[in-house]
């Protein structure tokens, strides 16, 4: 399905950033039909949460495994093959050519799609310079987006501020998935460059990843519904 045909509710990916499986299962139960897509990252995956991927997929949910793989090609390929058996929709890898190629080849025919993280949003030009990179953030993001496109990567994780520029590089085929989304009036937490759900979607994002504004809401289900309503309005 092209990203433009996705239903508003399926564009909200709720990050299950919780300490254990029991807390995650309780949250999924509270959210019910309001949420169709979940993200499982380091915290839950390394606390025994990977079997939840299959459990959620069997319950009709989509799952995004956010483990940002990066290793030698053979190791990335074998890891991707194992993860592809869990029934997830998305898996993240870092946008290094060998890593992206290994993951794309390994998931062929499995239904799993690979998202590349171009440059972590916590890095600035100084961090890249300290790590020995020649390019600054803007140029490196662009180089890696072009490489991802050429290698057949399905989508990019990017900040809401980058979607317009990246869309020009990727064309309509690739999905743009953005964290850093905050409904008006909610806590920023450690996110600095944020956008409201409506503005992120109007700006070209296909999927929004939202964690704390749903996890920490007094009524998580109502918070998720409000975000979906805002996505719906932005798509009209
Ligand atoms: O709680 P919050 O809405 O900030 O959660 C955002 C989620 O997206 C977290 O799971 C975080 O790991 C992830 N993420 C991010 N910034 C990135 C990439 C991923 O916040 N650049």
Ligand 1: distance of its center to the CA of 188 in Å?
12
Confidence class for position 2, pLDDT limits 50, 70, 90: low
Kindly state the average pLDDT of the residues 158-173: 92
For the Cβ of 204 lying below 6 angstroms from any atom of ligand 1, the answer is no
For the Cβ of 41 lying below 6 angstroms from any atom of ligand 1, the answer is yes
Q: Which domain holds residue 144?
A: 3-235
- CA nearest neighbour of 180 among 156, 158, 155: 158
For the Cβ of 161 lying below 6 angstroms from any atom of ligand 1, the answer is no
Model confidence at 28: pLDDT above 80: yes
- Out of 44, 137, 179, mutate this one to test ligand 1's pocket (max ligand atoms within 8 Å of CB): namely 179
Ligand 1: distance of its center to the CA of 211 in Å?
7
Q: What is the 3-state secondary structure (H, E, C) of the chain?
A: CCHHHCCHHHHEEEECCCCCHHHHHHHHHHHHHHCCEEEECHHHHHHHHCHHHHHHHHCCCEEEEEEEECCCHHHHHHHHHHHHCCCCCEEEEECCHHHHHHHHHHCCCCCCEEEEECCCCCCCHHHHHHCCCCCCHHHHHHHHHHHHHHCCCCEEECCHHHHHHHHHHHCCCCEEEECCECCCCCCCCCCCCCECHHHHHHCCCCEEEECHHHHCCCCHHHHHHHHHHHHHHHHC
| Residue indicated by tokens 């890095």 | 123
Model confidence at 26: pLDDT above 70: yes
What is the pLDDT, as a whole number, of residue 188?
A: 73
Q: Give percent of the chain above pLDDT 90.
A: 88
Kindly state the average pLDDT of the residues 164-169: 93
Q: Whose CA is nearest to atom 3 of ligand 1?
A: 211
Mean pLDDT over the full length of the chain: 95
Kindly state the average pLDDT of the residues 102-128: 95
pLDDT digits (tens, 9 = 90+) for 178-218: 998 998 877 777 766 689 999 999 999 999 999 999 999 99
Annotated active-site residue 68? The verdict is: yes
For the Cβ of 43 lying below 6 angstroms from any atom of ligand 1, the answer is no
What is the pLDDT, as a whole number, of residue 17?
A: 97
> What domain count does the chain have?
1
What is the pLDDT, as a whole number, of residue 184?
A: 80
- Residue 24: which CATH number? 3.20.20.70
pLDDT digits (tens, 9 = 90+) for 49-103: 999 999 999 999 999 999 999 999 999 999 999 999 999 999 999 999 999 999 9
Among 61, 68, 168, 192, the one annotated catalytic = 68
pTM, full prediction: 0.95
Kindly state the average pLDDT of the residues 137-163: 95
Q: Whose CA is nearest to atom 21 of ligand 1?
A: 121
């Amino acid at each position: 399905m092209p990203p433009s045909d996705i239903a508003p509710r399926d564009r909200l990916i709720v990050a299950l950033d919780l300490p254990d499986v029991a807390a995650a299962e309780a949250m999924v139960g509270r959210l019910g039909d309001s949420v169709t897509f979940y993200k499982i990252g380091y915290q839950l995956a390394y606390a025994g949460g990977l079997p939840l991927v299959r459990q959620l997929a069997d319950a009709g949910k989509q799952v995004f495994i956010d483990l940002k793989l990066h290793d030698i090609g053979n190791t990335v390929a074998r890891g991707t093959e194992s993860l592809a058996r869990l029934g997830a929709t998305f898996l993240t890898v870092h946008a290094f050519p060998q890593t992206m190629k290994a993951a794309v080849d390994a998931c062929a025919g499995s239904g799993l799609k690979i998202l590349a993280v171009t440059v972590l949003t916590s890095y600035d030009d100084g961090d890249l310079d300290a790590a020995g990179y020649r390019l600054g953030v803007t140029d490196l993001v662009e180089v890696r987006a072009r490489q991802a496109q050429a290698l057949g990567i399905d989508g990019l994780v990017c900040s809401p501020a980058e979607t317009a520029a990246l869309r020009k590089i990727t064309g309509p085929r690739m999905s743009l998935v953005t964290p850093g989304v905050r409904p008006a009036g909610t806590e920023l937490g450690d996110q600095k460059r944020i956008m409201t759900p409506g503005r992120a979607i109007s700006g070209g994002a296909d999927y929004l990843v939202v964690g704390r504004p749903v996890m920490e809401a007094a009524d998580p289900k109502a918070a998720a519904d409000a975000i979906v309503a805002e996505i719906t309005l932005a798509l009209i």
